[in-house]
Amino acid sequence: MGREFIELFDHWADHYDLTVWGHDEEYKEAFQSYDAILEAVAERSNGTALEFGAGTGNLTEKLLRRCSRVYAVEPSTGMRKQFEKRGLEAELLEGDFLQFPLIPDQVDTIVSTYAFHHLTDAEKEQAIALYSTLLVENGQIIFADTSFQDEEARKQIETDAEQAGHMKLLHDLQNEYFTTNNVLERICKTHGLAVSFEQLNRYVWLMHARKEST
Ligand SMILES: C[S@@+](CC[C@H](N)C(=O)[O-])C[C@H]1O[C@@H](n2cnc3c(N)ncnc32)[C@H](O)[C@@H]1O
């Protein structure tokens, strides 16, 4: 579910990596320190990792250096084709944040970068509720994605995008489901997860949630 943006990724797949490495002026700031952002997620990961929205496999490659096993879930056919070209030692699965094949192992870490905003806030809550049942005790959710500290921060970023003439970026900001850290915090706490946030660039925050012992 939350698959309304998949077609866009099928088209974007073959030049996606040029965007993340800073070749698209409009998205430069959002992808600033991209490699360090993926590293920040990977270095906190351990055990069996379940990744959502794996794209071309940039985070997956880093996870494989730290985790015993990696399941990478990706709904876009175009992205899965790019991923497969890399020949990574991960299990690539067709699925999305809410519907994916049964994982045959216990899950220690659930990760995602630049993807959770494709779910509405109600879908985000469904996903976190599901993950809190899937994770082992003290298991972690580590997501890095664009979110806003509050509504004022959202307004400022939208105004700046408009003033810079970044209309494609502004369209994304207004039409995808970017949320605030308060919403994410409430969702995590409701589902038994302790959570903290760290800002990694002007757009991207790292959300680090841990399943508390019962
Ligand atoms: C901006 S890319 C990020 C790719 C990669 N994680 C990275 O950091 O470079 C977003 C990815 O999320 C995937 N995606 C879109 N909707 C999704 C959904 N509902 N569930 C899981 N993944 C989704 C897209 O197909 C795409 O591969």
Ligand 1 centroid from CA 214, angstroms: 32
CB atoms under 10 Å from CB of 168, counted, come to 12
What lies within 8 Å, CB to CB, of 2 at 6+ separation is 96, 97, 98, 118, 119, 120, 123
Q: How far apart are CA 116 and CA 177, in angstroms?
A: 9
Instruction: Give 13-47 pLDDT, tens digit per residue.
Output: 999 998 888 778 899 999 999 999 999 999 999 99
Residues forming beta bridges with residue 211, ordered by sequence position: 193
Position in ligand 1 atom list of the atom nearest CA 9: 25
Q: Ligand 1 in contact with 70 (CB < 6 A)?
A: no
Instruction: Give 71-125 pLDDT, tens digit per residue.
Output: 999 999 999 999 999 999 999 999 999 999 999 999 999 999 999 999 999 999 9
In CATH terms, 1-48+106-139+149-194 corresponds, of 3.20.20.370, 3.40.50.700, 3.90.280.10, 3.40.50.150, to: 3.40.50.150
Q: What is the predicted ipTM?
A: 0.99
